[in-house]
Amino acid sequence: MIQFTDVYKRYQNQHEALSGLSFNIDKGEMAFLTGHSGAGKSTLLKLIALIERSSHGQVLINNQNLSHLPQRKIPYYRRQIGLVFQDHYLLHDRTVFDNVALPLVIAGENHREIGRRVRASLDKVGLLGKERNLPIALSGGEQQRVGIARAVVNRPPILLADEPTGNLDPELSRDIMQLFEQFNQVGVTVFVATHDHELIKTLPYRQVILQKGRLAQQETA
Amino acid sequence: MRFLEFNLKNYALRHMQVMLFSLGQLWRQPLASSMTVFVIGIALAMPAGLYVLLQNLNQVSNQWDDASQISLFMQADFTDQQAKQFTDTLRAWPDIAAVEYQTANQSLEEFRQLSGLGDLLNTLPSNPLPALVMVNPSKNSLRPDAVGSLLARLEILPEVEQAQLDMEWLQRLRSMSKTGQRGISLLAILLSLSVLLVIGNTIRLAILNRQAEIKVTKLVGGTNAFVRRPFLYTGFWYGTLGGIVAWLTLLFTLSLLSGPINELSLLYNSPFSLQWLTGQMFIVLPLSGMTLGVLGAWLAVGRHLSAIEPR
């Protein structure tokens, strides 16, 4: 599902963020991406989300070669990927419902379908009662769950998360991870960048460990 | 086919939603929005108002077209016996509508009455005034160049001492009005440009204000068209509302002017009354406002939207 082959990413200041990276994540797998700050985790996720493009090498996502994807097709490509961010990236002038509905509105779903799927998605993350609230009225953990509801509302085959538990206490972090596991159990490929070692130690998933832009090791826990 | 129909309906519905959403956004900041709308309105009202006044001026000068007349002062040896033949010849010219002959004696008589010199003129040994032929050009040859050529052809006739167009000042008025038209076109272009800039700048600020939203929208798969749409509709509303304000401003200004103008034309015994052109302007102003609004928004969006990409 996610396949990197000899991928390099060099920035204009000659800094090499990724060097000859190759790894593979299967369809329906759940895996963690770990490594120190500056090891290239964010760069790797940006390559998958096509926020940036690789300097060299091949990135294959869901059987699409990203270096061959023209700029104008990027929006449609991104609709296949649910993105979860450390800072949630919620729109604070819109209700929880409207935040979660955004990907469906963009995709041009009709009104009834949007209502149905937004509620289903909010139900899954346990926030069904808060759809009329503004994000600011929610706790950090709740805001993150709104972000997850938005990421899965259009049922993408891949779910990417960048430090989703970065600002949360251990108990809330476990709840969030459980959510990811639930989505994985229904067939979604889940790839989570995190440095929360305490948490992932307890979970039975493979780790892709980066060190200075290279693959340090792959651990099957 | 059903599917296509459904999608088309969905598409139109989405446009309607975005349209109303943009209007709602303007509504939520009434002060800032109305200031922009008024700037646009005034900028559009100025050339429109001048245009209306100029049209009125043209209308007045058109009324005087029929009065355009050429006077032919005949040679001193031109006799009344020659007159019949001469006027008949002229009447046959296609660009002449009417010819009137006035003998030298009639001219003297007229002069006597108008000047009030009376018997004093009897002391003259002979009549110093020439016979006069007054020529009215036909309707088709009232254009300045046609009248000019007619004048030239009359002037070289051997019987004619001098030909004179009485309405040369009318030509001057015409050319002045032409200059005015040119000036108004230029003014309209400049002010349209300023409307473009005002709308462009407003949209630019709106884009900067909603940078976060644009980034998120792009991250969850929003196309450029989707991101662009609300801004284009914002420009659409600014322009259209500005056009309506321009129309109201025009009405207001003309209502202030129409009183004095009617009084003036009454004093001149003229049937003239101010034409407001309200119907025409009610279509032209909002339409041009709308066009400028969408265009200005399009330029601003094209310039600034590509700069906002998720990093």
| A/B interface, count of CB pairs below 8 Å | 54
What is the pLDDT, as a whole number, of residue B131? 87
What is the C-alpha separation between B198 and B44, in angstroms, rounded? Answer: 12
Residue B310 covered by a domain: no
Considering B142, B166, B190, which residue would you say is the last residue of a domain?
Answer: B166
Average pLDDT across chain A, whole number: 91
Mutate to test the interface with A, among B2, B18, B218, B219 (most CBs of A within 10 A): B219
- Reported ipTM: the value is 0.90
The answer to whether residue A75 neighbours chain B at the CB level (below 8 Å) is yes
Residues B100 and B207 in one domain: no
**Tens-place pLDDT, residues B191-235:** 989 989 999 999 999 898 888 889 999 999 999 889 999 999 999
Residues B83 and B47 in one domain: no
Residues B202 and B248 in one domain: yes
What is the C-alpha separation between B20 and B237, in angstroms, rounded? Answer: 10
Residues B214 and B287 in one domain: yes
State percent of chain B over pLDDT 70. 93
pLDDT band of B11, cuts 50, 70, 90: confident
Residues B19 and B106 in one domain: no
What is the pLDDT, as a whole number, of residue A80? 94
Handedness of CA A197, A199, A203, A206 (dihedral sign): negative
How many independent structural domains does chain B possess?
A: 2
Residues B288 and B246 in one domain: yes
Mutate to test the interface with B, among A78, A121, A154 (most CBs of B within 10 A): A78
The answer to whether residue A18 neighbours chain B at the CB level (below 8 Å) is no
Residue B3, pLDDT > 60, answer no
The total of other beta-carbon atoms located within 10 Å of residue A51's CB is 18
In angstroms, the Cα distances linking A50 to A13, B171, B219 are 20, 70, 9
The answer to whether residue B21 neighbours chain A at the CB level (below 8 Å) is no
Residues B51 and B181 in one domain: yes
**Tens-place pLDDT, residues A32-75:** 999 988 888 989 999 999 999 999 999 999 999 999 999 889 99
Considering B114, B134, B166, which residue would you say is the last residue of a domain?
Answer: B166
* DSSP bridge partners of A18: A9
CATH value at residue B155 = 3.30.70.3040
| Beta-carbon separation of B215 and A89 below 8 A | yes
Residues B39 and B118 in one domain: no
Mean pLDDT of A142-168: 93
| Beta-carbon separation of A83 and B220 below 8 A | yes
**Tens-place pLDDT, residues B54-99:** 888 777 777 665 567 788 888 888 888 888 888 888 888 888 888 8
Considering B150, B166, B182, which residue would you say is the last residue of a domain?
Answer: B166
Residues spanned by the domain of B152: 67-166
**Tens-place pLDDT, residues A14-26:** 888 999 999 999 9
What is the pLDDT, as a whole number, of residue B66? 56
| Beta-carbon separation of A75 and B215 below 8 A | no
Residue B253 covered by a domain: yes
Of A72, A78, A111, the CB nearest to B220: A78
Nearest CA in chain B to A80: B221
What is the C-alpha separation between B98 and A157, in angstroms, rounded? Answer: 91
Nearest CA of chain A to the CA of B17: how many Å?
11
Average pLDDT across chain B, whole number: 85
Residues B143 and B205 in one domain: no
Nearest CA in chain A to B12: A108
